[in-house]
């Protein structure tokens, strides 16, 4: 077996491809393909149409409310999602003569034999049939080649029938480009065996290619299994799998792929991630927000401070830029600013048993018994989608974890365990999202040892990823409260009696707005701080090999305001280590034009200002073309079109303090000394780098302005 080397397709490989393409075929090999239908015109032409599902003609791609359809050829395809999944119908081709050994066709959508299918009819009987791949929620609308061996009917007349007689989930079919051919195009299982002589396996990815299920096997046993948009040709980028655990062993990669036996030749081994990736120097790489080197991330998980390190675990798809294959990625930082990405900390034990969100704690008193030699274990708690709430322990500073053999520790319909130490009662509390009772609740459980959990009270009306913590009231010694919030941020303040949370007000409050989700607080943050990081949900970086970013770490405080107790958020002071040269101005009238700051090239910058609106209805800045404007009469701030209420107590003597953080794909705004926090994904025009002042009405000005350049957290030489 050839070792995997970093090489170009050529030499013996090109020879092999040539053998595959041209060898072993009959005289028919020279015959061109015969098109049966490409569905490129807006009508079905001579095909007979029954029912509503197929609409008036081939669809121009994705239909309303459908996931993105990909993998079809040209501009149109047959798509029976007209009117949604519940419509039905049939399409019947005119007769044609079978003149080639293969019929190739692109098929996607529902995987229901006889109900969402394409049939080949000879003498009115179904002799071949194909369906899409999907029967479960999720899945993919990508079309894939299917190939029918039709040698036995050469010379006979046939028809093709496309059927949709299925309602409900995946009750539709996608078909395109039906051709007679001398070649088979359907994917077949390919394998490649190699010795692990280097740390990383590099895998080529092409965005939008059909998702393939890939396995890595060791002595016949599957050790990794995941979905990947594997690039058979022209990769957009490479991703990587760390194979340290298999060093010196022989692994086999198995995947169904189209193309010839060379399809897995794109795999490479490497000791280092290639310099040619230009890691962190990508044009849209955020300069001081955490992003993963490759792939997708969502929720922060397991935020814990231990032995001088802030751990940031996170929901991670290492193999593509969309959600999927959930692992716990891992990064550490000494200061919440500079992050170092470490190997994946929790792998899914098998395909489909994903490692969903959760938290981490240091078990200082070794209540779990996993500690050794006086060393407390770090405990991670997560939702195994196959089993329930699980725990694992680490004695190597959170690098590797061992699963508790008694997993799951709790089974229910729900997810996202957040564990905190209840110092008043000396036991653990888990706040976990629960829908067992048919509603959306946070369920509280308690445990003496992290292994045995007793359900206690519940709080209604919180969706996913609960965060639950006790914190002091700012400036009121001896006063503290518990705060509970769900993934999208509405929170309540109240008391916790060890079993039940008692909010001290009606309704919920909100601190964060915009692209913000599933935030957590650090366990064991130094100096009793309440440090929070969220997921900047929906912040994208088109064309980049990574997707999504974390929000800036903030210190939360509980402040007494005229409206009651409210959370406030201030970017952690450690971020000031990124401050570089600053431009300072005072009393600038609004509006002002870009010439006022001619030569300013905004990129990674912090802009602090106090706004005075005077009699103006609007006053603010246009930052790289994006408006951040205060409308005092309406009591709101508008950030790139996002309207956010500003409470009266955030305005001091008629002026409003704004703290803007500008990065490659986002603006974060802290309003009125942390009274309101906004995270907003923005796609800036590359050539728009300036600053303007905007106002409608008179008397508006910027009282104080500081524009501070920020260094990159990735490269010291950048700053
Ligand atoms: C929130 C969430 C969690 C779940 C995780 C899966 O974004 O849906 O509820 O654990 O993401 O990635």
Is there a domain that residue 443 lies in?
A: yes
Q: Which of 299, 519, 534 to mutate to test the pocket of ligand 1 (most atoms within 8 A of CB)?
A: 299
Q: Ligand 1 mean position to 151 CA, how many Å?
A: 49
Beta strands in 572-700 (DSSP E): 579-589, 605-612, 618-623, 626-631, 636-639, 642-645, 655-662, 666-671, 676-681, 691-696
Residue that is last in its domain, among 253, 276, 299: 276
Is there a domain that residue 3 lies in?
A: no
144 lines ligand 1 (CB under 6 A): no
389 lines ligand 1 (CB under 6 A): no
355 lines ligand 1 (CB under 6 A): no
Q: Do residues 284 and 269 both lie within one domain?
A: no
Is there a domain that residue 144 lies in?
A: yes
297 lines ligand 1 (CB under 6 A): no
CA distances from 285 to 50, 332, 539, 540 (A): 51, 19, 12, 10
Span 29-45, pLDDT tens digits = 469 999 999 999 999 99
Q: What is the CATH number of the domain that holds 436?
A: 2.115.10.20
Residue that is last in its domain, among 160, 181, 202: 181
pLDDT of residue 11: 34
Q: Do residues 59 and 196 both lie within one domain?
A: no
Is there a domain that residue 517 lies in?
A: yes
Q: Do residues 142 and 201 both lie within one domain?
A: no
Q: Do residues 567 and 578 both lie within one domain?
A: no
Residue that is last in its domain, among 124, 158, 181: 181
- Is residue 571 within 8 Å of residue 320, measured between CB atoms? no
Q: Do residues 478 and 561 both lie within one domain?
A: yes
Q: Do residues 296 and 332 both lie within one domain?
A: yes
Q: What is the 3-state secondary structure (H, E, C) of 393-445?
A: EECCCCCCCEECCCCCCECCCEEEEEEEEECCCCEEEEEEEECCCCCCEEEEE
Q: Do residues 312 and 453 both lie within one domain?
A: yes
315 lines ligand 1 (CB under 6 A): yes
pLDDT of residue 437: 87
457 CB neighbour count, 10 Å cutoff:
17
Candidates 119, 299, 363, 416; catalytic one: 299
Closest-CA residue, ligand 1 atom 8, reads: 464
Q: Do residues 531 and 673 both lie within one domain?
A: no
383 lines ligand 1 (CB under 6 A): yes
Q: How many domains does the chain have?
A: 4
Span 167-204, pLDDT tens digits = 999 999 999 999 999 988 898 999 999 999 999 999 99
Look up 299 and say whether it is catalytic.
yes
pLDDT of residue 135: 96
368 lines ligand 1 (CB under 6 A): no
Q: How confident is the model at residue 261 (pLDDT cuts 50, 70, 90)?
A: confident
Which residues form the domain of 383?
278-571
Q: What is the CATH number of the domain that holds 244?
A: 2.60.120
298 lines ligand 1 (CB under 6 A): yes
pLDDT of residue 184: 84
Q: Do residues 339 and 466 both lie within one domain?
A: yes
Span 669-690, pLDDT tens digits = 999 999 999 999 999 999 999 9
Q: Do residues 74 and 210 both lie within one domain?
A: no
Q: What percent of the chain has pLDDT over 90?
A: 91
Is there a domain that residue 634 lies in?
A: yes
Q: Ligand 1 mean position to 465 CA, how many Å?
A: 7
> What is the value of pTM for the model shown?
0.84
Is there a domain that residue 2 lies in?
A: no
pLDDT of residue 258: 81
121 lines ligand 1 (CB under 6 A): no
By DSSP bridging, strand 69-70 and strand 141-142 are parallel
Q: Do residues 305 and 264 both lie within one domain?
A: no
Q: What is the CATH number of the domain that holds 643?
A: 2.60.120.560
18 pLDDT higher than 70: no
CA distances from 571 to 387, 484, 532, 678, 716 (A): 37, 21, 9, 12, 21
485 pLDDT higher than 50: yes
Is there a domain that residue 605 lies in?
A: yes
Is there a domain that residue 317 lies in?
A: yes
Q: Ligand 1 mean position to 357 CA, how many Å?
A: 6
Q: Which of 302, 328, 329, 465 to mutate to test the pocket of ligand 1 (most atoms within 8 A of CB)?
A: 465
Locate the ligand 1 atom nearest the alpha carbon of residue 356 and give its number: 10
Q: Which of 327, 381, 383, 464 to mutate to test the pocket of ligand 1 (most atoms within 8 A of CB)?
A: 464
- Residue 13 CB contacts under 8 Å (≥ 6 apart), including other chains: 7, 262, 265
209 pLDDT higher than 90: no
The pLDDT of 423-442, averaged and rounded, is 96
Locate the ligand 1 atom nearest the alpha carbon of residue 299 and give its number: 7
Q: Do residues 288 and 387 both lie within one domain?
A: yes
Angle at 705 between CA 700 and CA 711, to 5 degrees: 145
Q: Ligand 1 mean position to 619 CA, how many Å?
A: 38
CA distances from 634 to 629, 637, 644, 645 (A): 11, 9, 10, 8
């Amino acid at each position: 077996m050839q070792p995997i080397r970093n090489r170009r397709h050529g030499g013996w490989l090109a020879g092999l491809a040539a053998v595959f393409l041209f060898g072993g075929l009959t005289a028919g090999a020279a015959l061109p393909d015969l098109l049966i239908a490409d569905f490129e015109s807006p009508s079905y032409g001579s095909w007979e149409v029954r029912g509503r599902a197929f609409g008036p003609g081939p669809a121009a791609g994705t239909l309303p409310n459908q996931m993105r359809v990909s993998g079809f050829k040209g501009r149109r395809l047959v798509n029976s999602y007209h009117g949604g999944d519940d419509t039905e119908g049939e399409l019947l081709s005119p007769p044609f003569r079978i003149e080639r050994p293969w019929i190739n066709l692109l098929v996607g959508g529902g995987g229901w034999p006889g109900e969402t299918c394409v049939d080949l009819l000879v003498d009115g009987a179904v002799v071949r049939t194909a369906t899409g791949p999907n029967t479960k929620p999720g899945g993919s609308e990508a079309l894939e080649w299917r190939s029918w061996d039709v040698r036995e009917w050469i010379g006979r007349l046939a028809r093709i029938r496309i059927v949709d007689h299925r309602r409900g989930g995946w009750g539709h079919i996608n078909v395109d480009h039906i051709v007679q051919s001398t070649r088979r195009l359907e994917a077949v299982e390919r394998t490649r065996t190699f010795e692990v002589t280097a740390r990383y396996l590099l895998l080529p990815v092409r965005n939008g290619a059909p998702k393939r299920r890939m396995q890595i096997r060791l002595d016949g046993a599957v050790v990794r299994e995941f979905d990947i948009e594997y690039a058979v040709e022209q990769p957009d980028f490479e991703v990587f799998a760390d194979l340290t655990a298999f060093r010196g062993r022989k692994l086999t990669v198995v995947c169904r792929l189209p193309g010839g036996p060379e399809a897995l030749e794109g795999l490479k081994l490497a000791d280092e991630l290639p310099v040619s990736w230009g890691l962190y120097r990508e044009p849209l790489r955020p300069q001081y927000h955490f992003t993963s080197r490759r792939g997708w991330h969502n929720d922060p998980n397991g935020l814990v401070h231990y032995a001088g390190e802030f751990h940031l675990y996170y929901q991670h798809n290492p193999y593509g830029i969309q959600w999927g294959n959930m692992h716990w990625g891992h990064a550490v930082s000494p200061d919440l600013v500079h992050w170092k990405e470490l190997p994946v900390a929790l792998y899914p034990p098998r395909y489909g048993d994903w490692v969903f969100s959760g938290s981490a704690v240091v078990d200082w008193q070794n209540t779990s018994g996993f500690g050794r030699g006086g060393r407390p274990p770090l405990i991670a708690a997560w939702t195994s989608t196959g089993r329930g709430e699980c725990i694992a322990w680490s004695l190597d500073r959170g690098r590797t974890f061992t699963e508790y053999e008694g997993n799951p520790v709790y089974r229910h319909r729900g997810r996202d365990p957040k564990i905190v130490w209840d110092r008043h009662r000396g036991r653990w509390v888990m706040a976990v999202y629960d829908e067992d009772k048919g509603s959306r609740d946070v369920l509280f459980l308690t445990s003496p040892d992290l292994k045995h959990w007793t359900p206690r009270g519940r709080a209604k009306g919180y969706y996913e990823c609960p965060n639950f913590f006790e914190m002091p009231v700012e400036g009121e010694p001896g006063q503290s409260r518990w705060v509970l919030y769900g993934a999208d941020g509405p929170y309540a303040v109240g008391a916790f009696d060890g079993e039940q949370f008692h909010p001290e007000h009606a309704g919920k409050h909100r601190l964060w707005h915009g692209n913000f989700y599933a935030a957590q607080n650090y366990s064991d943050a130094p100096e009793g701080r309440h440090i929070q990081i969220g997921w900047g949900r929906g912040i994208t970086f088109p064309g980049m090999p990574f997707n999504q970013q974390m929000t800036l770490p903030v210190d939360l405080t509980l402040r007494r305001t005229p409206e009651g107790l409210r959370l406030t958020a201030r970017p952690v002071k450690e971020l000031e280590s990124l401050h570089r040269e600053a431009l300072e101005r005072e009393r600038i009238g609004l509006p002002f034009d870009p010439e006022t700051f001619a030569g300013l090239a905004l990129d990674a910058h912090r802009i602090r200002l106090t706004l005075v609106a005077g009699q103006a209805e609007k006053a603010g800045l246009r930052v790289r073309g994006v408006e951040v404007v205060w409308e005092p009469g309406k009591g709101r701030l508008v950030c790139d079109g996002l309207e956010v209420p500003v409470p009266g107590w955030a305005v001091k003597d008629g002026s409003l303090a704004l703290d803007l953080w500008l990065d490659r794909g986002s603006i974060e705004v802290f309003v009125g000394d942390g009274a309101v926090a906004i995270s907003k994904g923005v796609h800036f025009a590359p050539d728009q780098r300036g600053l303007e002042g905007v106002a409608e009405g008179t008397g508006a000005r910027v009282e104080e302005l500081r524009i501070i350049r920020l260094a990159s957290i990735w490269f010291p030489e950048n700053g």
